[in-house]
Structure 1
Amino acid sequence: MGDDVPDGAKEAAEAARQFAFLENTLLKNRTLTIFGEINKDVAQRTTEKLLALSFESGDPITVFIGSPGGHVESGDTIFDMIRFIKPTVRTVGTGWVGSIATHVYLATGRENRFALPNTRFLIHQPAGGFGGDASDIEIQAREIVKTRERINQIIADETGQSVERVAKDVDRDYWMSVEESVEYGLVGSIITSATELPG
């Protein structure tokens, strides 16, 4: 009877099984990944996993980040949750970490911020699409300014740079190599092997 199952259904079942295996293996090892665009779904899944792991034990959690950024408030959710839970969270940048993903990366102290050798970082001011009548556009513009100032302050606090320097740097896309990111204060350590992460 199993032979009557269409090939597409078999492939879907196998893909689901492999995905579950990967997810379970990562969670058993207290490891999360954030790849691709950060949105509401990514924020929800990441929040649920962080909470579940924090309820399980106080052992450190490692979060690998390779993302161009995405929705600001979704990034804020992950940032706040990393700081909210009791276990130490270590962030590891890989590929490129940009925009609101850099904000998420900065949720941990510098001693817990790592990056692989070929990682690039991007900081810039938050973008926003304006719509509606003139009053709505004015309100949205004010919110963008407040968001930019808030994120600039966090970058300054976490890197040791002045708010004035950060504001100037983020006025346009500001790219950094991993070595430049260490000098800037974004990255605590460049690592090439899992053995270099604290036990």
Structure 2
Amino acid sequence: MTIRIDVKGPIISNDEAWIYEWFEIEATCPKTVTSKLLEANGEDVTVYINSPGGYVDEGSEIYTELKNYSGHVEVQIVGLAASAASVIAMAGDKVKISPTAQIMIHNASMGYRGDHRDMEKAAEILKVTDRAIVNAYVIKSGMSEEELLGKMADETWMGAQKALEYKFVDEIMFMDNAIKLTASSSPNMIPPKVINSLRNGFPNKADPNLVTQDNLKEMLTHFKKDFLEETKMNNEKPNEPKATVTAEKPQIRFIF
């Protein structure tokens, strides 16, 4: 029996997954994939990808779990495999792409603040991150690191036939030659500002007396404006939203 694993929506952290579930926004975190692999227990798995990308570290974790899996892993890119999701796609023993699907690779980005020394350090961190990410593409395609880093810097979009030409995939599904199609990526990640507000204002999600329809509506009314405004701004950008460092919970998130 083949086990199905969906990598759909943004790639997020385990501790943010419950927030996406609240909003009924499809997303993928490492623990979901790990649970499916444990369930498969060595049986063949097929990973279906349609994702605009997300956090670098979580994408790397999912990639590593799939590469370490003892059974056969087939990846099918059914929509978009962009950014961190493109890294995950490289984990397949066999990678297929729909003739209407696309892959996108680009440099990592992050939100940061500080003086000029902090900015220089941030730039170096991003360079190191790009050189870590590129290894997944090198292993799969056989292209040189230098050439792939150039394609990442240029933000390269690949249709099915180009992905096959570059050896990012092994096969185009349903047909021998892919047609050229165009579309745009519209990531739907919840802005960090909203996530932090939810955590601070509604921390005990496990208490059944706290999570009721009435107080959930009240809470969502409070955060609705922030959520809609932030999401609108992020969706107007061509790439994933850059993460921010907040005073309430200092953190650095690489968006890829």
5 Å-filtered alignment, 1:26-41, equals 29-41=2-14
1:50 equivalent among 29, 37, 40:
37
1:125 equivalent among 107, 119, 124:
107
> Helix, strand or coil: the match of 1:170?
helix
Quick one: higher RCO (CA 8 Å, sep 6+), 1 or 2? 2
Structure 1 alignment gaps of length 5 or more: 1-27, 194-199
- Looking at structure 2, the residues matched to 184 and 85 of structure 1 have their Cα atoms a distance apart, in angstroms, of 25
2:86 aligned with 1:113? no
More helix by share: 1
Deviation at 1:179, TM superposition (A): 0.6
Deviation at 1:29, TM superposition (A): 4.4
- Looking at structure 2, the residues matched to 126 and 177 of structure 1 have their Cα atoms a distance apart, in angstroms, of 21
Deviation at 1:52, TM superposition (A): 2.4
In structure 2, the residue matched to 1:23 is none
- Looking at structure 2, the residues matched to 104 and 140 of structure 1 have their Cα atoms a distance apart, in angstroms, of 25
- Looking at structure 1, the residues matched to 162 and 149 of structure 2 have their Cα atoms a distance apart, in angstroms, of 18
Contact 1:51–1:85 (CA under 8 A) maintained in structure 2: no
In structure 2, the residue matched to 1:77 is 61
Deviation at 1:127, TM superposition (A): 1.2
1:192 equivalent among 150, 174, 177:
174
In structure 2, the residue matched to 1:147 is 129
5 Å-filtered alignment, 1:4-23, equals none
2:5 partner letter: L
1:132-186 per-residue CA deviation (whole Å, 9 max, x = no partner) reads: 4544444333221111011123212210111121111111210111011000010
1:75-96 per-residue CA deviation (whole Å, 9 max, x = no partner) reads: 0110010012211111110111
Identity in percent: 26
Give TM-score, length-normalised by structure 2.
0.59
1:160 equivalent among 142, 154, 158:
142
- Looking at structure 2, the residues matched to 164 and 138 of structure 1 have their Cα atoms a distance apart, in angstroms, of 22
In structure 1, the residue matched to 2:52 is 68
5 Å-filtered alignment, 1:97-108, equals 97-108=81-92
- Looking at structure 2, the residues matched to 153 and 76 of structure 1 have their Cα atoms a distance apart, in angstroms, of 11
2:4 partner letter: T
